[in-house]
Structure 1
Amino acid sequence: MSIFSWLIDGEILSEGAAVSYVNKDSNQVASGVISRDGILCKCCNEVFSMTSFQVHAGDEVHRTAALLTLEDGRSVLECQKQALKKIEQAKCDEPANGQLTVDETALKAMELKESELVVDDVEMDENDDTCAVCGDGGQLVCCDHCPSTFHLKCLRLENVPEGDWFCPRCCCASCGRSLYDPTIQTEILYCDQCEREYHSNCVPGSAMKYESSDNQFCSRKCLKIFRGLRKLVGRVNKVDDMYSWTLLRSEHYDQSEENSKLESVADLNTRLALALTVIQECFRPMIDPRSNIDMVSHILYNRRGEDKRMDFRGFYTVVLEKEQELISVASMRVHGSHAAEIPFIGTRSQYRKQGMCRRLINVIQQVLHTLEVQTLVLPAIAEFIETWTSAFGFQKLTAAQGIQLMELNIVTFPGSSVLQKPLTWLECGRKLTPVAGNSQYPLSLLIIFLSLQRNWPTSLS
């Protein structure tokens, strides 16, 4: 799927519409017509992607969408903005509390049976019906603060705890005591990378590094990972002569910002919309019965939920492309240096069984290894466990590993098992490089991350 086919399907563009590339001096230097695969050039009768058409026109300014003008006067950038606005209006309602919920009309458009979407009109239980570790139901122990529930065996407990009990995610990541015990009078500190929480007196104030009013980190490692990931967002990186990958993250933009920033954000959100169509092709919507939101779209758009288990702010989306045609997609969240998770990974039907998933997994492993992340985890249903273990080298969690991961907000699904894979240099050490000849991305990943080693705050451990 390309940006043009997506805009055509959304009735924003018409196939066969005339388009011209106008350079920064307002001179028309190339012209063609819109097709589902790209731009059919009039001078050579070849089809180009947006950026390739820009290069074909002999220009090096990296604002392609803003400089491609249709016969009706709109730019391709304006078409992207129009499509993104249409998505928000068609698929999402935004109630007074600011939380986005999936609109029923959009769900019906996905051709789901109505019975699969109905939530009984009865008083909702305050706690979840499935275990936060394994995703299955049964007899569960309830946290006295958040909606999370657990099997005793998943907690490695023999008996139900007496009195108030708080799950590992509601306890200080340092001392293990409850974050919400009224007898502990202290501020709660939150790390914006690993998403762990601490009593302020368990983590010295000087150890929480504030980059801005919105971000703080519990360690030097978390700060490094955060900076490394944010530096990669939007960069096009070459896998080989045919394929490239990009790290995406949903962003909001202000119309008062300069055009280059607006185009960058519109491009990110457009490609996320394309990525969502690929994931929806591979997975049925997963509706959370408590909030009635589709976890798939909220993870892809890194949205925040009302409680910890539905807080997906830390997610990024990794896409594999061939000449700007999106092929494979994975959602990824990094829980500090301890572990990273990929709850969703999918490939378009016509590209399956051609090694695309392996290419994307290799990219993810290499990036995580460079960031010094120790383990990669993912949920796998029974029929795919053999594939993940034999072909990709994943393993089932040991009891000790299960306990270590319990305090992390790992996404699990009913009927799935969490698999893990250590990230070793032998498997992940190959250097990745950005697209050749693209002056906007002149550094290799290795150089990017080496640059992060400079000027670390000495107060972080």
Structure 2
Amino acid sequence: MHKAVFGELAEGAELSYRAHGKKLLVGHKVGNGIRCTCCNTVVSPSRFEAHAGCASRRKPYLQIYTSNMVSLHQLSIDLLKKRSLSTKEHVDLCSLCSNGGDLISCDRDKCTRAFHLKCARLPRIPSGLWYCKYCENETQENKDVDQGRSFLVEHDEGGQCALCGGHDFIKDVFGPRTVMICDQCEKEYHVECLKDHNKQNLEKLPEGKWFCCSDCDHIHNVLVKYVARGEMNLPDSLLSLIEKKPEEKGIESEAGLDIKWRVFNENLVDHNETMSLFSNVDDIFHEQFGPIVNPTTAGDFIEEMLYGKKVKDHDFRGMYCAVLTINQMVVCACLFRVFGQEVAELPLVATRKDYQRKGYFRSLFSCIERMLGCLKVKNFVLPATREAKSLWTTKFGFSRLGREKINNYQKYNNIMAFKGTLFLQKPIPQLQKIQQHSSISRNILSLEAYSCAEMRA
């Protein structure tokens, strides 16, 4: 609908590119393009953005406004609402896992979602009308949107070379101003800046994944190995943190407890084997948060992050999920992403209601923290509600992060932030510091031994 919106604008209508509340460039609508005042030529919206000096933002329709201060993106949304579908056409891919196959469709008017039975957590095809969880939760979702709680707060500082700070780039051909994006830390670099700083001398676009340094390459390789390893036992020292109660659901006795933890990434696993796992984690997150609406795509941020999707303005392919299971039942889960050795983020954490405040997530968090400590990752950051702040600060050792530090992180990293939340940070204990305390070192040796063995490998 972005391109279609030009058909709704009058010829010669004034358009302006705005950022940080300032008008950077003015033009006028001509056909399906914009006559730019800086060069008096008709250009596309993306070129108009580049002429405004903001090519790396890649958000032309969000930043180009009419004289009435309405963005082209908002105009396209309004246009879409006016166009009703004459027939209801369902998508041919599952709305959760994005795979095809035998699907069941939502019966709500105008909902085009379809699901595998397993992804929808259905034992069989319903005999009557069936509505997907999005339609069932529509009332609560609308309430959250009205209150502004479900919208992601998008920062506008990214999209610049991590070495020179420049925003300009060349997209069409490979050259000195081509921007390379590291597949681990996700920082951007001009090709010529990499050469000038004696980091890498690239003569052509590399094939496959590209990493800005050996540290990012190493972190990626170790995380891949953790995913491939599958289920892992918890060290005895962490098992002692858990309040084991035989009467809990699905647990007959303490001797029958089979507690495991694992790390996975949608792009690194066989989805046919992990479909049930993904579905369980999806349920836990939605049980606690409900849908978190992406205002740009109208999709659900939870599923976009969990399934490692690349959507407009966001690339979640580097997002990992860690889970703790009891007798193969997922008890708690969290999403995390590692932006190189400087910082890792923990955007979402959830525990089943029956298992909260019993030490399960503390054990899972310790596994992740020690894994990242062996990888020399320095800091953990997370968005926390004001109600949860005391829990994170008193039990997990986090502290409030200052605005300057937040801006510094967000300058180069697309860290998730939600309205109404505070940024918290915790330094991750490094292996050398842990080994200075022999008693602690002995307790966590089993987990550290595997982590460091992976590092050496």
Which stretches in structure 2 are left out of the alignment for 5+ residues?
1-96, 115-129, 237-257, 435-439
Identify the residue that residue 170 of structure 1 maps to in structure 2: 159
Pick closer, same or farther for the CA change 1:356–1:212 going to 2, 3 Å: farther
Q: After the TM superposition, which residues 178-327 of structure 1 pair with which residues of structure 2 at under 5 Å, given as runs? A: 178-180=167-169, 186-204=177-195, 206=200, 213-234=207-228, 235-240=230-235, 242-251=258-267, 264-307=270-313, 310-327=314-331
Q: Distance in 2 between matches of 1:197 and 1:89?
A: 41
CA contact (8 A) 1:108 1:114 kept: no
2:139 to 110, 113, 135: 113
Shift of 1:334: 0.5
CA contact (8 A) 1:237 1:245 kept: yes
CA contact (8 A) 2:191 2:201 kept: no
Q: Distance in 2 between matches of 1:181 and 1:210?
A: 14
Whose RCO is larger (CA < 8 A, sep 6+)?
1
Q: Distance in 2 between matches of 1:385 and 1:87?
A: 44
Identify the residue that residue 330 of structure 1 maps to in structure 2: 334
Q: Distance in 2 between matches of 1:94 and 1:202?
A: 45
CA contact (8 A) 1:431 1:446 kept: no
Pick closer, same or farther for the CA change 1:386–1:209 going to 2, 3 Å: farther
Shift of 1:415: 0.2
Q: 2:414 matched to 1:409?
A: yes
Q: Distance in 2 between matches of 1:417 and 1:292?
A: 24
Shift of 1:279: 1.1
Shift of 1:325: 1.4
CA contact (8 A) 2:233 2:261 kept: yes
Identify the residue that residue 364 of structure 1 maps to in structure 2: 368
* Aligned residue type for 1:324: Q
Q: Distance in 2 between matches of 1:83 and 1:219?
A: 32
* Aligned residue type for 1:393: G
CA contact (8 A) 1:251 1:268 kept: no
Q: 1:404 is paired with a residue of what secondary structure?
A: helix
Identify the residue that residue 429 of structure 2 maps to in structure 1: 424
Q: 2:324 is paired with a residue of what secondary structure?
A: strand
Q: Distance in 1 between matches of 2:210 and 2:303?
A: 26
* Aligned residue type for 1:421: K
Identify the residue that residue 75 of structure 1 maps to in structure 2: none
CA contact (8 A) 1:304 1:311 kept: yes
* Aligned residue type for 2:335: S
Q: 1:418 is paired with a residue of what secondary structure?
A: strand
* Aligned residue type for 1:322: I
CA contact (8 A) 1:319 1:330 kept: yes
1:396 to 389, 396, 400: 400
Which stretches in structure 1 are left out of the alignment for 5+ residues?
1-81, 96-103, 121-128, 137-147, 150-166, 254-263, 435-442, 452-461
Identify the residue that residue 457 of structure 1 maps to in structure 2: none
Q: TM-score normalized by structure 2?
A: 0.59
Pick closer, same or farther for the CA change 1:208–1:355 going to 2, 3 Å: farther
Q: Distance in 2 between matches of 1:271 and 1:251?
A: 14
Q: 1:299 is paired with a residue of what secondary structure?
A: helix
Q: Distance in 2 between matches of 1:379 and 1:87?
A: 38
* Aligned residue type for 1:239: L
Give the superposed CA RMSD.
3.7
Shift of 1:404: 2.2
Pick closer, same or farther for the CA change 1:210–1:349 going to 2, 3 Å: farther
CA contact (8 A) 1:376 1:420 kept: yes
Q: Distance in 1 between matches of 2:392 and 2:102?
A: 34
Q: Distance in 1 between matches of 2:323 and 2:273?
A: 13
How many residue pairs match? The answer is 302
Identify the residue that residue 379 of structure 2 maps to in structure 1: 375
CA contact (8 A) 2:342 2:378 kept: yes
Percent identical pairs in the alignment equals 25
Q: Distance in 2 between matches of 1:114 and 1:390?
A: 31
